[in-house]
Amino acid sequence: MTEVADSLTHQSTNNAHALLGPPDLEVVNMTKRFGTFTALENVSLKLKPGTFHALLGENGAGKSTLVKCIMGFYTPTSGEVLINGQVESIGSPRDAHTHGIGMVYQHFTSVPAMTVAENLVLSRFDNTNLINWKKEFEDLSAFMETAPFKVPLDMTIAQLAAGQKQKLEILKQLYLQSKILILDEPTSVLTPAEADEVLGLIREQVTDSKLSVLMISHKFREITAFADEITVLRKGQFAGNGRVKEMTVSEMAEMMMGEKREPQKVEKTLHGEPKAVLEIKDIHANKDNGLEAVGGVNLTVHSGEVVGIAGISGNGQRELVEVLAGQRPATAGEVLVDGQVYTMTRAEMFKNRVFVLPEEPLRNACVAHMSVAENLALRTFDRPPQAKGILLIFKAIREMAVGLISSFKIKTPSPDTPVGNLSGGNVQRTVLARELSEDHIKLLIAANPCFGLDFAMVDYIHGQILEARNRGVAVLLVSEDLDELLKLSDRIFVISGGTFAYESKIEEADFAAIGQSMAGH
């Protein structure tokens, strides 16, 4: 295809979409089975043009399965998608795109080494062989002029902060002329201020009838601030819907859980004389590309204390946690536990009773193709009672798994299901169950422990962390959720550019100063 013809084809598809407002989207009696397990049963939902619709439900309720059926990632077992009243067969995200439907994921999908402009052009579904970059750049500049947020076209993705990356993911969909945006927990990597900014700008597009939005969210604050309507799923079935203005948060929560639940409150209590448990001394560590990620940090966590580390992702906190978990070498400095040099081997972790909840548990703390029971046993499989005779092993592993599945309410078809088949929140529960169920923890290092969990589970985990603290456990909590840090921490640090930019006792913490340090000012 010639440059001109190619460019014309692209423009004509764009223009066809651009002139129209969002279509009416309806899901009718959608059912999706995985083998004998029914993840979604007869669910219907209406997304009226120019509305902001939130999709709620506990972990494993079927939210992602529903949107994946709409997007054509999954073929529904039965049920239909209607667009402007017409039954449409959507067999792939490309089909969804031709109907103006686009999805923004929890995690970024742009190519880090390429520029914003290159990523935008690459995201198009046309089979472009030849790209006229001069023309593309002009078109992109014109698009950026009218876009609700600005991201510099010539910067590489690696240079962008998390907030800008998420804005780019949304811009990509606007560039593709998507009229229906499906957002899967879009703010989980943003600070509260960034989340409000991004959702506020999307809300304006919805109010102007340029977009419709279907957003999966666990955050009631965002739902009440930005959404018009909700649909609630429970155990794969429709549990209710309604207009946000006419509902209270506890009514929404009740719809999700099927029962009224009061939030659990754990008070902080004073523990005996605090002892230094974890001492981090001038630790340096590199990123995967060899550049320095952690530039010399010092920190002590005492028994009976939660020390929080706030920071926008990409400021060295991931690498610091990986050093502490024995997954990345430190280039300088040392770590002490109970005053002794600590080398993070599995044997030392066991001896010192150190427990780690890393980020992205499916990648860092699970073996995706192994069963839930095997993953729950990863810490203890080589110790009695799980390691005597071969039969006893399986029996003990299974018994332990059944107990943990029940107490941590892990939604899994069976203990033998591969952990990779569980919903995101239930993978997180599996790792939490394994790491928090031990009675004898001395030091707990947790990175974003509540990422992607529903409100009831967040409440439960917060309670577990505080109870551990009250028992005298030293807790290092690394989180991108400031509300969580302010609620749980006794002292708070902000990491920015690989060093601590702020430190305070929680009673004296200054919210504005924390925000500014996070932003690197």
182/62 Cα distance (integer angstroms): 15
Contact pick of 421, 437, 464, 496 for ligand ATP (by CB under 6 A): 421
Q: Please classify residue 507 by burial: count the beta carbons closer than 10 Å to its beta carbon, then call 0-12 exposed, 13-18 middle and 19+ buried.
A: exposed
1/7 Cα distance (integer angstroms): 10
Contact pick of 23, 60, 102, 358 for ligand ATP (by CB under 6 A): 60
Contact pick of 27, 39, 310, 468 for ligand ATP (by CB under 6 A): 39
Nearer to ligand ATP, 219 or 442 (CB): 219
Least separation, in Å, of the C-beta of 375 and ligand ATP? 14
Q: Which of 280, 271, 249, 3 is nearest to 126 (CA)?
A: 3
Q: Which stretch binds ligand ATP (CB under 6 A): 6-14, 33-41, 165-173, 434-442?
A: 33-41
- Cα dihedral 189, 194, 195, 199 in deg (nearest 10): -130
What is the length of the chain? 521
The helix (H) or strand (E) run that includes residue 163 is helix 162-175
Q: How far is CA 435 from the centre of its chain?
A: 19
By CB under 6 A, tell whether 76 contacts ligand ATP: no
How do 499-505 and 491-496 pair as beta strands? antiparallel
Nearer to ligand ATP, 86 or 406 (CB): 406
Contact pick of 37, 105, 133, 350 for ligand ATP (by CB under 6 A): 37
Q: Which of residues 443-502 bind ligand ATP (CB under 6 A)?
A: 452
The 10 Å CB-count burial string (b at 16+, else e) for 72-104 is: bbbebeebbbebeeeebebeeeebbbebbbbbb
Least separation, in Å, of the C-beta of 506 and ligand ATP? 29
Q: Which stretch binds ligand ATP (CB under 6 A): 9-17, 21-29, 54-62, 491-499?
A: 54-62
Least separation, in Å, of the C-beta of 173 and ligand ATP? 20
Q: Which of residues 86-115 bind ligand ATP (CB under 6 A)?
A: none
By CB under 6 A, tell whether 59 contacts ligand ATP: yes
Contact pick of 22, 57, 316, 361 for ligand ATP (by CB under 6 A): 57
Tokens of 84: 């402007």
Determine contact, residues 423/64, Cβ cutoff 8 Å.
yes
Nearer to ligand ATP, 326 or 413 (CB): 413
Nearer to ligand ATP, 43 or 195 (CB): 43
422/403 Cα distance (integer angstroms): 18
Least separation, in Å, of the C-beta of 62 and ligand ATP? 4
Which residue is closest to ligand ATP by CB? 425
By CB under 6 A, tell whether 63 contacts ligand ATP: yes
Nearer to ligand ATP, 61 or 494 (CB): 61
Residue listed under structure tokens 């603290």: 469
- CA-based torsion, 413, 418, 423, 427: positive or negative: positive
Mapped onto helix, strand or coil, the DSSP state of residue 339 is coil
Q: Which stretch binds ligand ATP (CB under 6 A): 58-66, 84-92, 358-366, 500-508?
A: 58-66
- CA-based torsion, 398, 404, 409, 412: positive or negative: negative
By CB under 6 A, tell whether 64 contacts ligand ATP: yes
The helix (H) or strand (E) run that includes residue 380 is none
429/89 Cα distance (integer angstroms): 35
Contact pick of 51, 166, 231, 426 for ligand ATP (by CB under 6 A): 426
DSSP code, position 181 = E
Q: Which stretch binds ligand ATP (CB under 6 A): 32-40, 455-463, 482-490, 500-508?
A: 32-40
Count interface residues toward ligand ATP (CB under 6 A).
19
Nearer to ligand ATP, 34 or 108 (CB): 34
Q: Which residues bind ligand ATP (CB under 6 A)?
A: 34, 37, 39, 57, 59-65, 411, 421-426, 452
